[in-house]
Amino acid sequence: MPDEAADISSEKAIDGRMCEIIPERFRIEPFIMVIFGGSGDLSRRKLLPALFHIYLEKNLPEDFSILGFASTPRPDEEYREIIKGAILEFSPALFKEEEWERFSRRLFYMQGGFEDKESYRRLSKRIEELAGASANAKREAIYYMAVPPHYLPDIIQNLSACNLCKGSFNTRLIAEKPFGRDRESAVKLNRIIAAAFDEEQVYRIDHYLGKETVQNIIFFRFANSIFEPLWNRSYIDHVQITVAENMGIENRALFYEKTGVVRDIVQNHILQLLALVAMEPPVGFDPDFIRNEKVKVFKSIRAMDGEHVGKYSVSGQYGPGKINGKDVPGYRMEKGISPASDVATFIALKLYIDNWRWADVPFYIRTGKRMKERITEISIHFRQPPLSLFGTACEDREPNVLVLGIQPHEGISLGFGVKRPGGGSQLYPVEMNFSYMKNLKYESHPPYERLLIDCMKGDMTLFARQDGIEAMWGVVDPIIKEWENSPQPGLPNYEAGTWGPEGSDKLIEKDGRKWRLK
Ligand code: BG6
């Protein structure tokens, strides 16, 4: 890899030249947040640490209350201790005793059953109490569903029955993926939600959209005029999206056996990345302008039948191997996994977007657990020049590749060819690099913070809309169906700590291309 980086850093880029592109239209009003599953894993690991950090950064209004709702009886004080322990365990660097004392006074707990109607009558009273009786009583209530998805219908119907969805409070619902198991169940769930809430009250979280580098895709594409004219089938040969993880399924055997890689990563995170790369310029920065364009992309992805699934997708499951020099077990040997499981932990896929911009441009997608490293990137591979005047590039690399590094390398690089200095005539690939860390002194924030703030403000730009969710299921349903109806032979078929099964290389190599990361 050449290391000649053209450094485009500038202190001024951070200070003097920063501009507020979007005037702030939203602000956070005093609120009550009810977290269903308030003492569960997601709440302890992510939500409460994120809320505490938002508080430390002085982004919360003076008046707010957070109410954990879960099934175990316990007083507020005990709940506060649990959350303090969680912050100390999962985000120790954040902890500041004095601020914690003040923050924790806004933290409350209520025991209740998700399916128990009586609990919601008590909840209604508790919300009124927390809102206060004064003229500036809090009138915003946010319900966070940090619970397994099968509880959603009950919770929503019970909230609605107690007039807690559209009553005297301005309410919002935050829901976590998965939104259904396929298109049909997603439609059903959306109907239940729509019977209780208006679409403008529903915030469906895809944490990828809270990542700074993912949000930047829109800025990069539509704030610079030099790329957009080239951003189409005339100049782009193909696009690659890799979401590689080196961790396994951790302690989520039950979840993963029911989910698999397509539902876990492709239906949501990868299709969101693809939409941001492929969408048409929105006519403005309004949430719905952007979400409309994304839905158009999902609807233009070529539908697959069984034959296409066989031809354009490769499934994989990891066997034992080594990660960072340490032996790790195969998927079937993980605790809680069936020794005969056919669940896929890897997929490589070729998609086409049948519209004028992208006709015949393949999008190669790859994601898996226990791969060689943890890396997510999108690479745009431009066409070769029409005539080769200078012989082949050394290392046989394509000269013009634009890489959008999502994680852990957060940045953008553009490769181009130069003359290798010296007597001969040799083309040499170099890169221009932009790094968030180096150039903007930025270190990534957990995406939950941004998403929570946006929801509190009422900005829906980074949240998925009902029709988008259903259209995304429409893309992946045929793959899931095909794989479940005729389980893939030969699993496990890749060693932990590698870039996936051989078939994944073959998928792209038979088109005369290769994966950028290998
Ligand atoms: C989650 C998946 O949505 O995303 C996990 O359920 C996966 O299986 C995780 O590990 C990856 O997120 P990130 O931000 O670490 O890339």
Q: What is the pLDDT of residues 421-479, one digit of tens each?
A: 888 878 888 999 999 999 998 877 788 999 999 999 999 999 999 999 999 999 999 99
* CA distance readout (Å), 282 to 276, 354, 400, 454: 11, 19, 26, 20
Please tell me the predicted confidence (pLDDT) of residue 393. 62
In a domain, 426, yes or no: no
* Residue 273 contacts residue 380 (beta carbons within 8 Å): no
> Which of these three, 117, 144, 176, is where a domain ends?
176
State mean pLDDT over 147-161. 95
Is 150's pLDDT higher than 70? yes
Q: Is the pLDDT of residue 1 over 50?
A: no
Whether residue 505 lies inside any domain: the answer is yes
Q: In angstroms, what is the span from residue 154 Cα to ligand 1's centroid?
A: 26
Same domain, 248 and 327: yes
Does the annotation mark 269 as catalytic?
A: yes
Q: Is residue 200 part of a domain?
A: no
Residues 160 and 225 in one domain: no
Percentage with pLDDT > 90 across the chain: 81
Q: What is the pLDDT of residues 473-504, one digit of tens each?
A: 999 999 999 999 988 889 999 999 999 999 99
H helix or E strand, kind and range, residue 141 = strand 140-145
- Burial code (b: 16+ CB inside 10 Å, e: under 16) for 441-464 equals eeeeebbbbbbbbbbbebbbbbbb
Q: Is the pLDDT of residue 180 over 50?
A: yes
**Average pLDDT of the segment spanning 302-323:** 95
Q: In this model, does residue 10 exceed pLDDT 60?
A: no
Predicted local distance difference test score (pLDDT) of residue 489: 87
The pLDDT of residue 438: 92
Please identify, among 176, 194, 228, the residue that sits at the C-terminal boundary of a domain.
Answer: 176
| pLDDT one-digit tens code per residue, 34-81 | 999 999 999 999 999 999 999 999 999 989 999 999 999 999 999 999
Q: Does 362 share its domain with 255?
A: yes
What's 125's domain CATH number? 3.40.50.720
Q: How far is the CA of 207 from the centre of ligand 1 (A)?
A: 8
pLDDT at residue 410 greater than cutoff 90: yes
Contact in structure between 68 and 39 (CB atoms under 8 Å): yes
Which pLDDT does position 66 carry in this prediction? 98
Domain of residue 245, residue span: 218-376+441-509
Mean pLDDT confidence for 237-256: 95
**CA pair distance 186, 315, nearest whole angstrom:** 24
Q: Which residues line ligand 1 (CB under 6 A)?
A: 245, 264, 376
Q: How many domains does the chain have?
A: 2
Sheet containing 202-205, strands listed edge to edge, beginning at the edge strand earlier in sequence: 107-111, 64-70, 31-36, 140-145, 170-176, 202-205
* Distance (Å) from CA 243 to ligand 1 centroid: 9
DSSP state of 284: S
Determine the 3-state secondary structure of 410 from DSSP. Answer: coil
- Domain boundary at 176, 205, 232, which? 176
Cα 188 to Cα 179, 183, 194, 328, distances in angstroms: 10, 9, 10, 40
Give domain status of residue 364, yes or no.
yes
CATH code for the domain of 312? 3.30.360.10
pLDDT recorded at residue 299: 97
**pLDDT band at residue 22 using 50, 70 and 90 as cut-offs:** low
**Range 146-174 average pLDDT:** 94
- Is-above-0.85 flag for pTM? yes
* Position 114, amino acid: F
Q: Are residues 268 and 145 in the same domain?
A: no
pLDDT tier for residue 167 given thresholds of 50, 70 and 90? confident
- Asked if residue 436 is part of any domain, the answer here is no
Question: Are 132 and 227 part of one and the same domain?
Answer: no
Catalytic residue among 53, 207, 238, 269: 269
Residue to mutate, 208, 212, 245, ligand 1, most ligand atoms under 8 Å from C-beta: 245
